[in-house]
Amino acid sequence: MNVGELLAATVPMARTLNLQFLETTPERAVVRLPDQPDFHNHVGGPHAGAMFTLAESASGAIVLAAFGEQLSRAVPLAVKAEIGYKKLAKGVVTATATLGRPAAEVIAELDAGGRPEFPVTIAIQREDEAVTGEMTVVWTLRPNA
């Protein structure tokens, strides 16, 4: 089972929103939110909360893909998140996440006894590729006690 399949099977919000994990590698995660009227806002596009969950899920997917081998000694936790809604989203939207620090640098900090923090940036796009939102989630790898 790959990271996307694992998240789709084990994260209730991912299942609720029917998120589709299209790509989950240590370099990039791409997650799609299908167009679903049950999750529309007052202007007919995806609700802001659904887009937040989409982007946060993409960030979680790349974190697991990049740092999954560290799970025996550290737990990944989101520290903070900031999102900006840029344009009206309609129809299917896709979130693409990228790491803001090299994974090797983060692991080296963990190896040195630290609790590394690192940003993940996410772009949310419509099918016409217009960026409708941008999000940054700061994650940490908290060493196990």
- The pLDDT tens digits of the residues spanning 73-120 come to 999 999 999 999 999 999 999 999 999 999 999 999 999 999 999 999
Q: What is the DSSP string of 118-137?
A: EEEEEEEEETT--EEEEEEE
Token pair 């419509």 is at which residue? 126
Token pair listed for 42:
């007052």
The fold of 3-143 is Thiol Ester Dehydrase; Chain A (3.10.129)
For the stretch 32-84, pLDDT in tens is 999 999 999 999 999 999 999 999 999 999 999 999 999 999 999 999 999 99
Q: Where are the alpha helices (DSSP H) in the chain?
A: 3-10, 12-16, 48-67, 103-111
Domain boundaries, the chain: 3-143
Q: What is the pTM of this model?
A: 0.95
CB 34 within 8 A of CB 22: no
Per DSSP, the three-state class of 67 is helix
